[in-house]
């Protein structure tokens, strides 16, 4: 039954006692509902007020039946054992009329309640109906108290003031949660502009989302070759859920619709190319297999949406896990998820193409990050040979991770999972280790240069130049012996910043190498105008010569001619066979690198190898 306020402006308790004077009724604006007198009156009338609260709480089912949204929401909460509507209403109203209630406590609780109504998609009208019914019953109880009219009027005004404040702050809480959604989207858009890579963006986005708006956990994954969803990035709250799944022996998410485990929101989102949700693990058959594990982790609903690449292909699924049932069903929440989807798609368009390597499961990525944080990095060195004299002139330092086993973890297995902070640390570690090793070889009368990859995100870091300066100063290595390989790609958003950084590095005296020249994008104007020392040609150009196609050899020769005309040294990598070595020498490359000359080796083997190396083309 729906209760509506009286339309004639009469006071609900006005007929309890004939008015003796024409005094103005006390209004809620006239009283401080938390003052000492308010506490005394509420304490004195506590017994009859509690009876009125009990009557109001017993009417809650009728209020809910009149509002389908509220009815469904509270039914799910009750079904999952989270909340009994009548018990909730009784406790809530008793707290509202408690003599000890302070304004600060009511403000905090009412704001949380308003935000919660917005979060689970409950219309605030349900709260308004309950409050109005409770107020009418409370006023009726006050009217029956054997008190003077002035005292009853004061207590009624106190109750009205508290109810009015409650509704006002609930509305503010509802608005603030809506505003928080908007702020989160703006925050993620700004983060997209500052993140340096796809892993860094995803990790930072999850950190910003986790724990807000009722989000217990987040996970980003994609199907592997067996159509199982593998999670590449997860928030901290996801670990308890996965642990519960494993301990309970529950199956993994799959894409196969014939499987019991193939109807989760993630699988549905991948197939439908749209947002999918699970309002409750107890009523959504597709999510039911994981209900026990979800509840053990404090999760009661979930949603998922696909992330598209610029060509409109789905490349991953982002799953969100909620604290409450029905958390992802309201229209404002759907709009919020749509905005999130657009931000993630924008970030992937900016960074994601660098991360199209194989899937790195989240637990493997965490292991790699732990190894890096402990400094468990080992460098191997591949010699670079002067193709005219046959002398080793430098080594390229190649990073590996050490996990305590007999084999190292190669970059292809971990680089795609590193964000900007990890790439910074890896570069600094490699730089310091490589320069110290040069000093040790110097002590053995072996003089070599060191080549090191400098990722674009590290290049533009504000501390990059200082890192290099400090490492050179500590080891007293001549800057000209350090060669930094810079990868040129098609992203131009940070071109100006990179050019400034390149000029700053050149002033240190280090030598700059444009890596993968000829791989599809190289700005010849920038190559001419910036202080590069060498160009390293993409290995694919040399491998294309295996078929002895004259036009391909002519193309590579022309590119090398352009480099020479700009006064740049030419380096060919990917010399893996004697045939490619012969091609490299015929083309007149200054230097070469590849397995036909030497595989990468440990630092302790370099000095002896350098002394004993004798190329067969030098007599």
**What pTM does this model have?**
0.72
Q: Is 405 exposed, middle or buried (0-12, 13-18, 19+ CB in 10 A)?
A: exposed
Q: What is the largest CA-CA distance in the chain?
A: 127
- Domain 198-355 in CATH 2.60.120.680? The answer is no
Share of residues in the chain with pLDDT > 70 (%): 90
Q: Where in the chain is the domain with CATH 1.10.490.10?
A: 28-180
Share of residues in the chain with pLDDT > 90 (%): 59
As a whole number, mean pLDDT of residues 527-531 equals 81
Question: Would the pLDDT of 23 be above 50?
Answer: no
Only one residue has tokens 């104007």, namely 525
DSSP-assigned beta bridge partners for residue 395: 383, 450
Q: Where in the chain is the domain with CATH 3.30.450.40?
A: 198-355
The predicted pLDDT at position 257 comes to: 84
Summarised one tens digit per residue, pLDDT across range 317-375 is 999 999 999 999 999 999 999 999 999 999 998 886 555 556 677 788 888 888 888 88
Q: Collapsing DSSP states into helix, strand and coil, what is residue 100?
A: coil
Q: What are the CA-CA distances from residue 210 to residues 151, 237, 321, 506 (Å)?
A: 50, 8, 10, 43
CA-closest candidate to residue 170, choices 255, 229, 111, 123 = 111
* DSSP states along 229-241: EEEEEE-TTHHHH
Q: Where in the chain is the domain with CATH 3.20.20.450?
A: 362-612
Only one residue has tokens 């597709």, namely 286
DSSP-assigned beta bridge partners for residue 345: none
Out of 3.40.50.620, 3.30.70.1380, 3.20.20.450, 3.40.50.2300, the CATH code matching 362-612 is 3.20.20.450
Cα 92 from Cα 94, distance rounded (Å): 6
CA-closest candidate to residue 384, choices 370, 374, 394, 371 = 394
The predicted pLDDT at position 2 comes to: 37
**How many residues are recorded in the chain?**
619
Summarised one tens digit per residue, pLDDT across range 241-259 is 999 999 999 988 888 888 8
Q: Which has the minimum average pLDDT: 19-33, 342-356, 498-512, 591-605?
A: 19-33
Summarised one tens digit per residue, pLDDT across range 181-232 is 999 999 999 999 888 788 889 999 999 999 999 999 999 998 887 788 899 9
Mean pLDDT across the chain, nearest whole number? 87
- Domain 28-180 in CATH 1.10.10.10? The answer is no
CB-CB contact of 110 with 173 (8 Å): yes
């Amino acid at each position: 039954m729906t209760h509506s306020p009286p339309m004639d402006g009469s006071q609900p308790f006005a007929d309890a006692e004939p008015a003796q004077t024409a005094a103005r009724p006390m209004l809620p604006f006239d009283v401080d509902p938390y003052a000492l007198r308010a506490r005394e009156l509420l304490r004195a009338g506590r017994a009859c007020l509690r009876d009125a609260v009990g009557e109001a709480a017993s009417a809650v089912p009728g209020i809910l039946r009149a509002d389908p949204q509220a009815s469904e929401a509270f039914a799910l909460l009750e079904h999952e054992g989270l909340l009994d509507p009548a018990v909730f209403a009784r406790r809530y109203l008793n707290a509202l009329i408690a003599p000890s209630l302070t304004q600060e406590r009511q403000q905090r609780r009412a704001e949380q309640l308003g935000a919660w109504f917005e979060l689970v998609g409950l219309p605030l009208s349900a709260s308004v109906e309950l409050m109005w019914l409770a107020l009418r019953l409370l006023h009726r109880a006050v009217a029956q108290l054997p008190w003077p009219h002035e005292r009853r009027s004061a207590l009624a005004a106190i109750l009205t003031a508290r109810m009015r404040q409650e509704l006002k702050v609930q509305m503010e809480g509802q608005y603030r949660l809506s505003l928080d959604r908007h702020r989160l989207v703006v925050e993620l858009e700004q983060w997209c502009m500052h993140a340096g890579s796809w892993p860094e963006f995803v990790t930072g986005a999850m950190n910003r989302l986790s724990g807000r708006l009722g989000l217990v956990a987040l996970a980003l994954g994609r199907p592997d070759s067996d159509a199982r969803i593998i999670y590449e990035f997860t928030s901290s709250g996801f670990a308890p859920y996965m642990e519960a799944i494993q301990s309970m022996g529950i199956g993994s998410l799959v894409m196969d619709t014939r499987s019991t485990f193939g109807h989760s929101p993630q699988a549905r989102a991948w197939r439908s190319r749209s947002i999918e949700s699970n309002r409750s693990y107890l009523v959504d058959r597709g999510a039911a297999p994981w209900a026990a594990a979800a509840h053990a982790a404090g999760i009661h609903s979930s949603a998922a949406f696909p992330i598209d690449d610029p060509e409109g292909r789905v490349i991953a699924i982002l799953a969100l896990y909620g604290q409450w049932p029905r958390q992802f069903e309201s229209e404002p929440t759907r709009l919020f998820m749509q905005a999130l989807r657009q931000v993630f798609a924008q970030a992937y368009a900016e960074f994601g193409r660098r991360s199209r390597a194989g899937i790195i499961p989240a637990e493997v990525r965490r292991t790699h990050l732990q190894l890096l944080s402990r400094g468990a990095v080992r460098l191997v060195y591949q010699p670079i040979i002067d193709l005219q004299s046959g002398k080793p002139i430098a080594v390229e330092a190649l990073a590996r991770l050490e996990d305590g086993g007999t084999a190292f973890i190669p970059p292809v297995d971990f680089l795609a999972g590193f964000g900007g902070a990890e790439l910074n640390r890896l570069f600094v570690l490699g730089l310091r280790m490589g320069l110290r090793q040069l000093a040790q070889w110097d002590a053995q009368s072996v003089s070599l240069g060191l080549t090191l990859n400098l990722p674009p995100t590290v290049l533009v870091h504000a501390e990059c130049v200082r890192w290099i300066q400090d490492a050179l100063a500590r080891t007293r290595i001549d800057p000209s012996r350090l060669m930094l390989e810079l990868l040129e790609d098609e992203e131009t958003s940070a071109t100006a910043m990179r050019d400034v950084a390149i000029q700053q590095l050149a002033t240190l005296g280090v030598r700059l190498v444009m890596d993968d020249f000829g791989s599809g994008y190289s700005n010849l104007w920038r190559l001419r105008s910036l202080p590069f020392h060498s160009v390293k040609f993409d290995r694919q150009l040399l491998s294309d010569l295996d078929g002895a196609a004259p036009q391909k050899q002519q193309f590579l020769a022309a590119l090398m001619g352009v480099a020479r005309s700009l006064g740049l040294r030419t380096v060919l990598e990917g010399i893996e066979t004697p045939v490619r070595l012969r091609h490299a020498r015929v083309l007149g490359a200054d230097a070469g690198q590849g397995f036909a000359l030497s595989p990468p080796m440990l630092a302790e083997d370099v000095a002896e190898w350098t002394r004993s190396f004798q190329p067969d083309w030098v007599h």
